[in-house]
Structure 1
């Protein structure tokens, strides 16, 4: 849909938001949401690197939003460089808002959101289940709002009135959303958003502002080099006869690597995908952002095929560590090895034996 969905912190089994997108308002009650009202294109910075350029062009031809997105390799923060172009009218005639749906951690309910400051600078905050996030902008937020999804959130306010209500500055213990107006002007149409994470709101904000101070280009340079170095160590199995512009081999190896846990060597989740679906409650927090032994063995097979035997061996060691006393493996588990679903599934038990 041309926007960010789940971002995981502090582990790859811990989703912290549902999505982060933009809303465009304009004269005469104009309201447009980029994930619903635009045509989207996406491309990686280069083969084998999970950093992306997105272009969202309004269905009605009124505007274009260009984004560059990557994770800050130096700290727990995500950077999103945004350029807004008015294709109809003048740039100053539009207002652009960031809309963030926190889901700390793996759940929509039980979150608290508020509009605050960090060292005198405006920040959008959220907390839940021992983790916090902070969304900051290089073009400081003009206005901000914290509300309950479907009732008082910024989407409702902007859709119904075209303005954010200053009365909504905090939403306690619920399914919440944060909205902030990016400080664009007729002459300044580029902004850098940083979404920082931490154990406290101050720590999350510090990470966000450290990323902003560093800037996008230094982060991108380091990030790209890290991925190039890793890809360089793999076997050169690139298919030169594949679809032009798509290196399926390097896309695949990058996907395998992004699902690994940094903190727990050898662990990898089955899929960094929507754990709640579009209409799902908090009674089932798992899904595919869990360790599934069968899928983990297949991941090891992918690393072996690409020439990364060390990663495959780490996976085998990890699987040995979460094997149950009677010899079986959990149907699926969190990164710490604690079982999620209680069933015994034959392929989840057989595949680790085949890997060994």
Structure 2
């Protein structure tokens, strides 16, 4: 399909630069399937929108401070270098998008704050670099010293990062280090909301997908068939897969909280609709025409024009339907992107 088919006009005023306070005070747009009426609600209404026996599937990845600013010093001079780590290769090496990367050559040492150093080993076809960090300390420890939270570019371009972002850009379920972007749909959850969901008989399950910085990259081709997704590492254990299959078999619905959870669930599910244990990379790219196998609904924020995530929600609900949904959201003041409001998409109503 033409990428332009997923375009829409988004006023700058609709872009959220800070989250709602408290988090579950954010707005929620209920989107039933077919031509069902849209409902303007609050995230706090979620327990009344789900049924006892349904399960919400969360991504328990934890965002690491993967944004680094440093300098390269070599015989040819000094250059300022920015790096955003986006995928672990091994214990000391990460793949990174590098700002001012044309000034870097294989073997160059990049000096970051707090005595953190990395060698630029080689450049990949997509322009990213493999960085090998010096020393014996775990890279996560080095990043806590030298890095900052990798806020999305549409926020970072409009305001300076501050200490509040270390808290705000992390979900209450964050446990496993490795993401360089938050699974933002889960940012809306609070202990009070989860208690209300428990009381309503709505279950919770967890998987891990370490979200990469590739999620922010624009689609640069004209046709969706030509776009290549960046791979991200994820895992679903056998107990979780069995539990989700049992819930569906008993008539419960599997609701993915966020597109990251959805993409891993779909990657782990066969044509027979059975979710299986999964551990490895996924680069699944979901566009209209895709047949969903694992999920019955999706809770997600509002996404960028012409983005792979807007293509995904269009695949779930229909492109024309989602164009109308987003027009309603813009006209009624919903806040977009990572710190913005939420929607609940239920294709079967």
**Higher relative contact order at CA 8 Å, sep ≥6: structure 1 or structure 2?**
2
Q: Same fold (TM over 0.5)?
A: no
Report TM bin, short chain: under 0.3
Structure 1-normalised TM-score?
Answer: 0.27
Larger Rg: 1
